[in-house]
Amino acid sequence: MVLPLWSDTQVFLDGDGGFSVTSGGETRIFKPISVQTMWAVLQELHRACEDAARGGHIPGGAALGWARGYAAALRSEQSCLNEWRAMADLESVRPASPPPLRPGAPELSEQTVRALLRDVMASADLESVTSKEVREELERRTGHSLAQHKDFIDNEMLLVLAQMDRPSRVFPHLYLGSEWNAANLEELQQNRVTHILNVAREIDNFFPALFTYMNVRVYDEETAQLLPHWNDTFLFLSRVRASGGRALVHCRMGLSRSAATVLAYAMKEFGWSLERALRHVRHCRPGAMPNPGFMRQLDFYQGILRASRHSTMWEPRAAEPQPQGDEGGAAPSPQSPEDGTVPGVLGSSPRPRISLCAVMRSISQLEPPEPPELPEEPLSEKVFAAAEAPAGSGGSPTAASPRARPSSRPRWVPRQCSLDGGPAPEDGGSAHGHAPTGR
């Protein structure tokens, strides 16, 4: 299949992870195989459309003449080509008629669907689960048919995925994030990161000339052993805090290996129980979910720490850093606990198709969020006494490295979209988020 993307290209979400692309009078239908694939493809597609618009690629012009050679080389059977050329109005525009709701069933609100969707996606393997499977799980939990709202669900999934692309500021000196965050030089510089703790066997150090790295080379497997590394990672992160720097701790998705390592650090640095550390980390990064093997190691580590407080044989902790700087409260988390928008009701009337351009415009600049309130017992001031490193100070990245991996996709920060594809009212709150890619 060959489809040149001209300046008039339009992309519409069709529901269940599908979307249609119209360019130069031709339309193609796409059905990504997983949620993660849908997110990656739509980002690249949006970037290509913006490039075509900026470059003035007029339909039929010479700018994409090289694509004709590929089109001429097509040898696929016509039946296969027809799958790409299916009429969008037959597959997308006309919604299927849902069965009537059961008598007395309560109305289903947008806010309810959003909350359930976040929960489903936090526990799903985004590399393999499809949009349809996510919708079916939502239907199972709500007891309602959502076939008529497939495009709304896809739109909300994009917002959640965009939120997961942002690192979570767990403490003033510590961010928890993903491979994407570790490869995004602009974001690292903006967050004034000086050190990076890479807790992944399969991910390279992208900017070794610009940041101080530490590596824990393990896979996200229940049999992998993280516990032997936690004393070294604790010392590494303690030095970052003492020097007034900032660290990014990451694995592939920032949910399992790196989350477990941050939990271990918090337990030892602040004397927290595993339960309290888990509550705080999940408050800052709701999707954090170490695999069962790492949770068992954390429970064992908790016992070691408790015993060490009553034993002089345990290795002493790193020297406590002196409180500096002006940070005296909980670090703001990119993810707000709840979007706070006025709940709407999922109606049955036809709605306009959701344009990818409109969605991506809504995933735009985010104002600094309010600091999150901890569910219980506020943190002591010494937890947040890390000094702020001055911009451009030692160890801070100041220029792009020749080894810097170019960003494979643009960054967007989400705001809630209403059912008609437009932004939610200004006083309705905004969604802030994180980043993903493999636990």
Q: Give the phi and the psi of residue 69 in degrees, each rounded to 5.
A: -65, -40
18-23 and 26-30 as β-strands: parallel, antiparallel, unpaired? antiparallel
Q: What is the rounded CA–CA span in Å between residue 322 and residue 319?
A: 9
Give which of 111, 131, 139, 116 is closest to 39, Cα–Cα: 131
Torsion of CA 198, 203, 209, 215, to 10 degrees: 30
Q: Nearest to residue 197, comparing CAs of 260, 110, 154?
A: 260
Beta-ladder partners of 176: 168, 249
Q: Active site residue: 49, 251, 284, 417, which one? A: 251
Active site residue 251: yes
| Best CA proximity match to 332, nearest among 211, 191, 149 | 191
Tokens of 201: 């066997």
Cα(19)–Cα(12) distance, rounded to whole angstroms?
A: 5
C-alpha neighbours within 13 Å on the C-beta side of residue 168? 30
Tokens 């703790």 belong to 197
- Round to whole Å and give the CA distance between 253 and 437: 4
Catalytic residues: 251
